Structure 1
Amino acid sequence: MSADSSLSKETPNPAVDGSELIRFDNVTKRFGSNVVLDKLDFSVASGKHVTLIGPSGSGKTTILRLLMTLVKPDEGTIKVGGQYLTHEKRNGDLVPAGEKHIREVRKNIGMVFQQFNLFPNMKVLRNITEAPVTVLGLPKEEAEQRARELLEMVGLTEHIDKYPSQLSGGQQQRVAIARALAMRPQVLLLDEVTSALDPELVAGVLDLLRDIARSTDITMLCVTHEMNFARDISDQVLMFDSGRVIETGTPEKIFNDPENDRTREFLSAVL
């Protein structure tokens, strides 16, 4: 599927000036005694496509969940667009942020999950319009027009009045992508978006994401085991192991000439 004019109209095009859009400073996250992220420092520039690779359990998905504030850091801070995500300044001190502040910063972030996470009691159209109307305050008619254009982009116009249970896994994931883009986020998070799909459906979803990556300036942070996809869309690849970034570089560098023994070991197992 190729991108069309609706793609460029309906997805954001933040200024790509190399400015820092996401910043993790000394972030630690524990689940019980398990340290999932260990004093993590990294940043993502606006408009860039960054892919996180590494073994299961290395902390990659936790990064996305932190950005969506589904979990909060035990130590350290996260900034999005120069604003603290789960902290705020109050009387000169940095304190845990209130829910209003978190919602305001988080609305610039969209996420596509492994398991689609569509609302089962809502038809496709309302799945896409619900957040723009309730969170952004978009008029219903404008939200529906945006949704129809996005459904055309993802090739699902004829399924607009169906419930998620009436769609295939691949179709549900396309709806989930359209739903994330309907918020016009600055950042799109992709969490193993093909892992729950039957193999024959994977290529279509990845092709759609390639179109988004190539046709817009949206910043993408992607966790995937699809190494060819990572090679195709990434400006930067980060190799994770035990909650730390152990190597970072261009796709050409990481996939063709990795420096770290653990990176070489991981890639030899998955390529």
Structure 2
Amino acid sequence: MSDTPAEMIRFHDVVKRFDDDVVLDGLDFAVSAGEFVTLIGPSGCGKTTILRLLMTLEQVSDGRIYVGGECLSHMTQRGRELPADEKHQRRLRKRIGMVFQQFNLFPNMRVRQNITEAPIRSLGLSRDEADRRADELLEMVGLADKADARPSQLSGGQQQRVAIARALAMRPDVLLLDEVTSALDPELVAGVLALLKDIAATTDITFLCVTHEMNFAKNVSDRVMMLDGGTVIEDGRPEKIFSAPEHERTREFLHAVLERS
């Protein structure tokens, strides 16, 4: 019996076009269950598009995407494979959470309600159960005393912590992180990254992360994938990617990013 973790995410020969612009070009990669994988690369290389495809905010132009062994992008109906409909994708999307660059909290709701709304509506949790889950998560992210606050009463770092708690409230198998510190003041970044590192270390959630925080990528990731031109040009352990990258484009990118930091 194999001890190799099952694949949680699989992109198979995925192409994504916007009109004549090919953003992803025959993309192939897999992420194992419980793995933390970080995507790096220059702007426009397709990193955020990968996350948007997994969230079904965009649809593939060609190829297949699988989540937990099930095809997200296509479904079989009467023996024929067809592009997945909204019902099929919504069912699989429940396994995926996402934390965006912008916090996207509902300004008219208090913090606890921001966290409980989706589990009640999508998972059918009772109000009491959703409240208990929200309070546990607020304790985890260090905001137990802010349950009744409005988002406008919180700092940017606190709002991002609420957004993380909201994603975790859905008990996702996969958590997507899209530049989650880019909207934060520099002094707030370390706290949010430390929280994510702790969550990664203490749960079996599978992470797929887009970030320009190279130290975070180096310290937390199991693997780092370098993208350029819509495809993965280098994939390996962070110590290998950051200390001895094989591809010249990776060396150029890391030199430019680390020079700015």
* TM-score higher than 0.5: yes
TM-score, normalised to structure 1, is: 0.93
Counterpart of 2:173 in structure 1 is 186
Counterpart of 1:266 (choices 247, 253, 257) is 253
2:229 match: 242
The whole-number CA distance in structure 1 between the counterparts of 2:150 and 2:58 is: 29
1:82 partner amino acid: G
1:98 Cα deviation (Å)? 2.0
TM-score, normalised via structure 2 length? 0.96
| Counterpart pick for 1:126 among 88, 103, 113 | 113
**What amino acid maps onto 2:13 in structure 1?**
N
- Post-superposition shift, 1:32? 2.3
Flag structure 2 segments of 5+ consecutive residues without an equivalent.
Answer: none
Q: Which residue is 2:75 aligned to?
A: 88
Asked if 1:23 is matched to 2:7, the reply is: no
Match of 1:218 among 205, 218, 224: 205
- Write out per-residue CA displacement over residues 52-85 of structure 1, whole angstroms, 9 at most, x where no aligned residue: 0001111001000100001111111101011111
The code of the aligned residue for 2:70 comes to: Q
1:182-231 Cα shifts (integer Å, max 9, x gaps): 00000000000000000000000000001011111111000000000001
% of aligned pairs identical? 69
Amino acid at match of 1:239: M
Query: Residues 60-209 of structure 1: matches in 2 within 5 Å?
Result: 60-209=47-196
Tell me how large the CA RMSD over aligned residues is.
1.0
CA deviation after TM superposition for structure 1 residue 26, in Å: 1.1
- 8 Å contact from structure 1 (residues 24, 43) kept in 2: yes
Following superposition, the deviation at residue 21 of structure 1 comes to: 0.9
Give, in whole Å, the separation in 2 of the partners of 1:121 and 1:34. 39
Asked if 2 retains the 8 angstrom alpha-carbon contact of 1:17 and 1:46, the reply is no
Amino acid at match of 1:163: R
Task: Kindly state the Cα deviation for residue 137 of structure 1 after the two structures are TM-superposed.
Answer: 0.5
Between the aligned partners of 1:270 and 1:36, the Cα distance in structure 2 is 22
Equivalent in the alignment of 1:10: none
Unaligned runs of 5+ in 1: 1-15
Matched, 1:231 2:210: no
Local SS of the residue matching 1:135: helix
Give the distance between the partners of 1:36 and 1:162, measured in 2 at CA.
41
Give distance in 1, aligned partners of 2:121 and 2:73: 22
- In structure 1, how many angstroms separate the alpha carbons of the residues matched to 2:172 and 2:190? 24
Residue 44 (structure 1) aligned with residue 67 (structure 2):
no
